[in-house]
Structure 1
Amino acid sequence: MDNNNWLKHLDHKMLKDAQSSAFCSYLIALEGWRRGLTLKYYSEKVTKKNIHAPGLLYTLSSDTNTHRFYKARGDRVKEQAFSIGSNKFATKKWLEKQGIPVVEGEKFGKDVPDYEIIDYANSLGYPVVLKPVVGAQGKGVIANINTTEYLEKSLKYVRNQLNSSDVIIEKHFEGEEYRLYVIEDEVIAVMNRIPANIIGDGVHTIGELIKLKNKERKKNPRLITCLIKKDFEVLNTLEKRGHTLESKLAKGQQLFLRENSNISTGGDSIEVTDYFPEEVKKIAVAALKSIPNFPHGGVDIIYNKNKTGEESAVVIELSPTPQIGSLVFPMKGVSRDVPSAIIDYYFPEVKEKKNVNSNIYFNLSAVLEPLINKTASEVTVSPPPSNLIISKKMIVVGEVQRVGYRKWVRKKAIELDLIGYAKNLLNGNVEIVVAGTENNINLFKDKCRKGPKASKVETVSEEISEASLKVGFEILEEPKKKQKLTINNSNNNGQVKKIKSISIKRFLKRLLGKK
């Protein structure tokens, strides 16, 4: 997992509360909030199914503009654009009329029996792709179906188990799949989406390798919710290739578990913006521009580098509400700051405030709690400190634990408009990180040297800090580590017979005669 090229102003600590469907919303909302835009979250029922989903719907406002967002879709993407882009077949027909390259295929409604769909696939020629007409994140998309038997099983799965009775059959186009994020005339980011896969080591079974791959994916703040599941497509792909979950692969052998390359279903995200052909980028821009009031969104393209001209690429989908998380946190490549580009587009008046408050964030769980509990229908997020200049870490040495020192420090920090935290360390010291004006931090340090009456401060050291800080002032504890005690079992001659390391807790139990 290549995290050395991720954006420094976004880290795991900030994003912990947003590892859900609110992930993309939070990335954009946080960027706007840091620039001084007023952020409000709403608890309106935001889908046709009336799902109560706080964290997805929000507004950002400057002194002159207010814009409404749902996930990563802003209000400049109008209803017609959303309607076309959300329907795979409507997208396909619209683009085809506008001269944008697409693959051949047809839509079949719920009243069309499976055998008619199979007859069409036979006439089109295998391999084919099966898609639900309406859907997102690759759910129900089964690619490279090369037999009638597999198509029949796939139809039953998509139409019956997934309840997606309206489907599309398309001719399979050979090539690799890419997600391009476009704003107006510019391609902001390009990601190569590689189907879910594992690489053998000659030791672990396929099932175990999937578990190990998922463990790695959990280290990525976007992929933590995009694990490889042992579902219909994975099990059928294994069967087609003569494997089971108990099979073992030779060392270095790569096995693709799906034909569908969507990140949400376990695909790998490889950022390739600087290396992607300009002529194919132009196709993506033209696709979005062909639909009125569709200024930004995702464009999914299959590109075959062995072909030239218009035959080298086809547009397979448009996404008015795309997932942008994998563009910000790719498995390999350079992180692309899509949230910043979106804020620049909607609020050009705050462009110069980019990277202001870059280590400050707000507590998303606390903000959304009234909406989740339905005690409020909207919440305005408190603005970030407007006068932040520096951030410093201080280590306070002395008698500063169990004397009310941290609570006293918190009160003084709030009085001086500082944010940060105070944390007890296992060595008896207290660590403080604060952010604010240099003058207020100096005044705060003077107060820390004095401390409350019960404390006895010996020294206060300081250094510049780059730690991410939540708005407010927290009182924290350093995680307790298991302390080990070495027991020396020697004979009468002083020769060591056996050395054990056990926890102090276990040692005390033994001493008291407890097991």
Structure 2
Amino acid sequence: MKYYQHTIEGLRNSIPVEAYGYTVSMYSVALEGWRRGLTLKFINKNRSKAKTVYSLSDGRKEHVFTVTRGDIVPPEAITICVNKDMTKKQLMQNGVPVPAGIICDETFTDKQIIEAANEIAYPLVVKPVDGTGGKGVISNIRNEDELKSAINYVKHQLNYKTLLIEEYFEGKDYRLYVINDKVVAGLEKLPAHVIGDGVRTIKELLDKKNDERTKSPALRNRPIKIDSETHSLLRRLNYTVDSIPNDGEKVFLKTKNNISSGGDSIDVTDELSERIKEIAVNAANAIPGLAQCGIDMMVNKEEDKGVVLEINSRPHITAHLFPMSGHARDIPKEIIDFYFPNSEQNLDKPLYYFDFKSIFNTFSEGLCKEYVVPDVPKGSLVSKRFRVTGVHGSTGYLKRVQSEAIKLKLNGYVKHLKNGETSIVVSGKTKSVERFETIINQVNERYSVTKIVEKRWTKPVQIGFEIKKNSTKNRDNKMQKNRSKEKKSIDMDQSLLIERDYYREQYLNIINSKAWKITKPLKSIRKILSNK
């Protein structure tokens, strides 16, 4: 399978590395507004890149955003969405289909939770009322023993006091994005898995898939890791990581399907039925003032039925922008269209983007409370690249080029290449670029340049002008070393993990067996007598 075949044109090569991961959601919306000529201001309210607060203004009105959520969404709607119990009650009151369930607060004992859950038909789902990011959600609980384990984990190990017990709806796990009464994107979430080719081992297939994930700004630092859960799932299939699955066989490596756990995102926007989209829109409308949100649903495509699980008022959109399979969806455009309907998307070349590392570092060090990004270049613009031979290694040349570019208010960079050439990329007003070309030719004469090749530059350009270091090789080597180290660690510990998990599973089977439960009192009596 080829991943990321359909990338939003405006985001290709436009997201700096410092904005990778969850920060892509915030950055993509801010970038869309800034490119339209809106004034972009970052506000130092916290030190989390993924939760950076920023505002966009057209001179007449200003809207403040956190991640993808703008200030049109009222605090009351946010409060409801954060609490799963309140959300569910609101949905039920408005006739939106939800799974049957019951809330068990901190006054419930474990026994009372089990008794309440037994009133609902198995399989079940246990989740914390105030959990986020899929943490503490245990699905497809098939019997009372599994329910006890789930309660122990969520309530006592994760320390969530109030639990929501729901019926498990058989279907596919969807995330739909709704804005202004319209579903603009939908994706299916699948747990981490590999697909066999009849030749490579599971470990080799996983290595290849992790390499593919590094190509995505959303997943570059989120590899699928082999852990005890992986070994347990494989053992049920009589597999190890060195087994070779059949061609086309799908082998699951995790049970959770959230993207942060290695899950895949498959775009299904064009496959959504009108009924499913209607449920999602009705769910958003059930929360007063919720103009934009992410709707988590379980969908049975064959019966065209669905239930709403949760609503997120501040959803990340990275999986929609960079799905593992299918078309990317331009949610940033939809958001800015909604908040600034009189603005127009601008994808004319050359495209520009802004640095985020310096902004975040400035905030982290407490150097300023607000940062206004310089306006996007306007007018008759052009981008050019010059490949210069004869000045490699000269720091003075790099500084002189940077100085001349800054004087002319040009954007781009200068960099010594590994092949001995020096690359200069400049972008800005046509007259300024022409003036730069004249000046740089004069500079080249002083530095004994032997050759210069000029070419039009078509990739997006970061505003400002910097001297780039050739650090790609070092970064790649570091990533390769980390990958090799992790792989070596997995190889060394694999047999121990398999053996540990096997005996743990055998132990649980024994203590949960009827024979053990019947003879346990006798064992206790014998222990007491032996101590006398």
Q: CA deviation at 1:467?
A: 2.1
- Pair 1:294-2:290 in alignment: yes
Q: Which residue of 2 aligns with 1:439?
A: 431
User: What is the letter of the counterpart of residue 117 of structure 1?
Assistant: I
Q: Which residue of 2 aligns with 1:314?
A: 307
Question: Going by fraction, where is helix more abundant, 1 or 2?
Answer: 2
Instruction: Give me the whole-angstrom Cα distance separating, in 1, the residues matched to 2:113 and 2:316.
Output: 31
Q: 1:68 to 1:294 in 2, by over 3 A?
A: same
Q: Which residue of 2 aligns with 1:7?
A: 8
Gaps of 5+ in 2: 475-532
Instruction: Give me the whole-angstrom Cα distance separating, in 2, the residues matched to 1:254 and 1:183.
Output: 34
Secondary structure (helix, strand or coil) at the match of 1:25 reads helix
Instruction: Give me the whole-angstrom Cα distance separating, in 2, the residues matched to 1:339 and 1:195.
Output: 26
- Pair 1:123-2:116 in alignment: no
Deviation string for 1:154-181 (max 9, x for gaps)?
Answer: 2222122222221111111111111111
User: What is the letter of the counterpart of residue 279 of structure 1?
Assistant: R
Query: Is 1:179–1:192's contact at 8 Å kept on the other side of the alignment?
Result: yes
Query: Is 1:222–1:329's contact at 8 Å kept on the other side of the alignment?
Result: yes
Query: Is 2:352–2:376's contact at 8 Å kept on the other side of the alignment?
Result: yes
- Pair 1:334-2:327 in alignment: yes
Secondary structure (helix, strand or coil) at the match of 1:92 reads helix
Deviation string for 1:234-284 (max 9, x for gaps)?
Answer: 566556x35576573523332224443222222110112122212211111
RMSD across aligned positions (CA):
2.7
Q: Superposition pairs for residues 366-405 of structure 1, below 5 Å?
A: 366-387=358-379, 389-399=381-391, 401-402=393-394, 404-405=396-397
Q: CA deviation at 1:456?
A: 1.9
Q: CA deviation at 1:397?
A: 3.5
Q: 1:30 to 1:130 in 2, by over 3 A?
A: same
After TM superposition, the score normalised by the length of structure 2 is 0.82
Q: Which residue of 1 aligns with 2:142?
A: 146
Q: 1:283 to 1:336 in 2, by over 3 A?
A: same
Q: Superposition pairs for residues 114-263 of structure 1, below 5 Å?
A: 114-200=110-196, 210=206, 212-229=208-225, 237=233, 241=236, 248=243, 250-252=245-247, 253-263=249-259
Instruction: Work out which of the residue numbers 409, 415, 427 in structure 2 matches 1:417.
Output: 409
User: What is the letter of the counterpart of residue 319 of structure 2?
Assistant: S
Query: Is 1:12–1:221's contact at 8 Å kept on the other side of the alignment?
Result: no
Q: CA deviation at 1:379?
A: 2.2
Q: CA deviation at 1:452?
A: 5.6
Q: Which residue of 2 aligns with 1:489?
A: none
Q: 1:481 to 1:113 in 2, by over 3 A?
A: closer
Gaps of 5+ in 1: 46-50, 483-515
After TM superposition, the score normalised by the length of structure 1 is 0.84
Instruction: Give me the whole-angstrom Cα distance separating, in 1, the residues matched to 2:369 and 2:240.
Output: 47
User: What is the letter of the counterpart of residue 282 of structure 1?
Assistant: E
- Pair 1:324-2:317 in alignment: yes
Q: CA deviation at 1:202?
A: 6.3
Q: CA deviation at 1:289?
A: 1.2
Secondary structure (helix, strand or coil) at the match of 1:220 reads coil
Q: Superposition pairs for residues 42-57 of structure 1, below 5 Å?
A: 42-45=43-46, 56-57=52-53
Deviation string for 1:100-145 (max 9, x for gaps)?
Answer: 1111111111231222222233331211111111122212111111
Q: Which residue of 2 aligns with 1:502?
A: none
Secondary structure (helix, strand or coil) at the match of 2:9 reads coil
Q: Which residue of 2 aligns with 1:513?
A: none
Q: 1:170 to 1:481 in 2, by over 3 A?
A: closer
Q: CA deviation at 1:56?
A: 1.8
Q: 1:86 to 1:210 in 2, by over 3 A?
A: farther
Q: Which residue of 1 aligns with 2:354?
A: 362
